[in-house]
Amino acid sequence: MLPVRKSGDRNGPHSLPQRRREPVGLRQVSAAPHPRRRPLMMENVPKEAITAEMQRVFGADTRRINHALDVLSFAERILLKETADRGVVVPAALLHDIGIHEAERKYNSTAAVYQQIEGPPIAKGILTELGMQPHLVSEVCDIIAHHHAPRADESSNFKVLYDADLIVNLRDDFSHLSQSRLKEKIDRMFFTEAGRRLAAEILLK
């Protein structure tokens, strides 16, 4: 004889196990882990972002900051006349001397050879963090690694950067030369016609 289940008894011998019912709308769903975000790869990183990083590295060194900004200004003027990739020339102009403080710290020297050793790793870190395409980062770093030592066959991007840097260096370090000596250097040392004309406009009275 089966025992009689009392009214309201939900746990009689023949009752099914009761499933715990969750309130509607409150069921917890485990969140999928968020993948680590990688920088967005861009062809052209805004020059304002690169400028800010250059200024951060140089800190209170206004001389180096102003030099980089002057080289950028002349490079942009040369780009108006020459065919080159602005996305390479602009970061190269802003970061071409970025290794100078590290050269001073390691070698107690600002010699070009040490700048060219220390600059590329710093530039690579900056541009990679800002999301520049890896092949463009490589070209910018290659330019920085020999920007005082042209090779036999150079890219148009290198030539624009080199000429812009040369204008600033001639203006700041060789203004004591006679006009004839300056003209000789301008005629002999520049790669681009636009750079040569701009140098003559600025340096020759």
Residue 205 has pLDDT above 90, yes or no: no
pLDDT at residue 175, rounded to an integer: 83
CA 94, distance to chain mean position in Å, is: 9
CA 120, distance to chain mean position in Å, is: 11
pLDDT (tens digit, 9 = 90+) per residue, 37-84? 445 566 678 999 999 999 999 999 999 999 999 999 999 999 999 999
* Counts of helices then strands in the chain (DSSP H, E): 9, 0
Q: Measured between alpha carbons, how far is 93 from 91 in angstroms, rounded to an integer?
A: 5
Q: What is the mean pLDDT of the chain?
A: 87
Give one DSSP letter per residue of 124-152, joined into a string. HHHHHHTTB-HHHHHHHHHHHHTTTS--S
pTM of the complete model beyond 0.85:
no
Q: Measured between alpha carbons, how far is 19 from 87 in angstroms, rounded to an integer?
A: 64
pLDDT (tens digit, 9 = 90+) per residue, 122-145? 999 999 999 999 999 999 999 999
Phi, psi of 141, deg, nearest 5: -65, -35
Q: Are the C-beta atoms of residues 159 and 92 closer than 8 Å to each other?
A: no
Domains delineated in the chain: 47-203 (1.10.3210.10)
Q: Which of 164, 121, 172, 126 is nearest to 142 (CA)?
A: 121
